Amino acid sequence: MGDEALSGGDTGSPGVEEVLGLIRAGGGRVTSTRRVLLEVLLGSREHRSAEQLAELVQARLPEVHLSTIYRNLEELQRMGVLVHTHFGHGPATYQPAVGAHAHFVCEVCSATVEVPPDLVARLAEGAMEHAGFVVDPGHFAIGGRCARCAGDRHRA
């Protein structure tokens, strides 16, 4: 499933029914757990860990176990619907593959900032040009200090 397959109208993100249709077309099963998980994931711009997602799904389907959430997340990543990102030492968080983006994470206060796409494109071009390396910008976060914490450090 490429980005063009999951172009979700005006918002740029796919709708639940669109993703479920693609899952069916790919021979995947649509379960109540998978539907609720997609509703939670696609209904917010927040990046959530598997544990946070399980809590939200379990609020609607109390019988769902954390292991079921992990299996569904793995399957949805394999299908190209989701990607996960590592923010420093914390757990992986999940977001729709369409519109996936890189992040800066402050090592002092843990603030997270989305990296503008043009900056990521320049980084990717530089990595390819200088090292022959293809960057996967949505998979991890770049650590450092936010403007506030960098300013505090310079004042100390």
pLDDT tens digits for range 110-137: 888 888 878 888 888 898 999 999 887 6
Alpha-carbon distance of 56 to 35, in angstroms, equals 13
Note down the domain range covering 139. 103-155
Residues 28, 70 share a domain: yes
What the block records as the tokens of 44 is: 């917010």
Strand partners of residue 36: none
Residue 90 within a domain: no
Is 110 a domain residue? yes
**Long-range contacts (CB closer than 8 Å, 24 or more residues apart) made by 130-137:** 137/100, 137/101, 137/102
For residue 153, pLDDT beyond 60:
no
Tell me, yes or no, whether 147 and 79 share the same domain. no
| Nearest residue to 86 via CA among 105, 68, 67 | 105
pLDDT digits (tens, 9 = 90+) for 33-91: 999 999 998 888 788 999 999 999 999 999 999 999 999 999 888 888 888 887 767 78
Q: How many domains in the chain?
A: 2
Q: Do both 78 and 9 map to the same domain?
A: yes
As a whole number of angstroms, the distance between CA 139 and CA 37 comes to 20
- Give the pLDDT of residue 11: 43
pLDDT at 3 over 80: no
| pLDDT (0 to 100) of residue 8 | 39
Q: What pTM value is reported for the model?
A: 0.68
Q: Are 80 and 108 in the same domain?
A: no
